[in-house]
Amino acid sequence: MSLKSPVSNKLEVQLFTDGACKGNPGPGGWAYILRHVESGTEREASGGEANTTNNQMELQAVIEGLRALTRPVNVEVITDSQYVSKGSTEWIHGWKRNGWKRKVKGQLKPVKNEEHWRALDELLSRHQVSFTWVRGHEGHPENERCDELAVEAAAKMA
């Protein structure tokens, strides 16, 4: 999926992300590759936390990648997390409408990982963002690299 920039009429940035966790909860890691499409320039980053969940690390990877951007741009986020993809494009609107609550068996309950979702929501508002879901561990080169970096970061937290 491509984005149209109002200036260049081209996609500007691709953000490949992944998260990993040794145990859930347990030591976790996140990683991203940020690619400027026109120049091909890439930047990798990763990090981790001692006690976290896989979903939190998936979210943190996108948060950190978007934080690395120095100006508003068109961004295609490529992730193997349907939780992040659907959460960012479908579910978040209802959560916000309901005061960061989700419906569970007809009742409103707090959104899990609310602090991460709030941080991501603020960053999404700065950029024109689309999400592309890819199947994990299926040979997608950038997804595989992000997985490798996230697993390494998680191992350092153990």
Backbone Cα Rg of the chain: 16
The domains of the chain are located at: 13-157
- Residues noted as catalytic: 18-19, 58, 80, 137, 147
- Give pLDDT, residue 4: 42
CA–CA separation, 107 and 110 (whole Å): 10
Q: Residues 84-141: pLDDT tens digits? A: 999 999 999 999 999 999 989 999 999 999 999 999 999 999 999 999 999 998 999 9
CA–CA separation, 65 and 44 (whole Å): 9
pTM: 0.92
Average pLDDT rounded to a whole number, residues 6-14: 68
CA–CA separation, 25 and 54 (whole Å): 7
CA–CA separation, 3 and 129 (whole Å): 8
Task: List own/partner pairs for 119-125 with CB under 8 A and 24 or more apart.
Answer: 119/63, 120/59, 120/62, 120/63, 120/66, 120/88, 121/92, 121/96, 123/62, 123/63, 123/66, 123/67, 124/66, 124/88
Tell me the residue length of the chain.
Answer: 158
What is the chain's mean pLDDT, rounded? 93
CA–CA separation, 127 and 69 (whole Å): 9
For domain 13-157, the CATH superfamily is Ribonuclease H-like superfamily/Ribonuclease H (3.30.420.10)
- Closest to 19 measured CA to CA, from 7, 9, 36, 31: 31
Torsions phi, psi for 124 (to 5 deg): -60, -30
Which of the four pLDDT bands, split at 50, 70 and 90, describes residue 11? Answer: confident
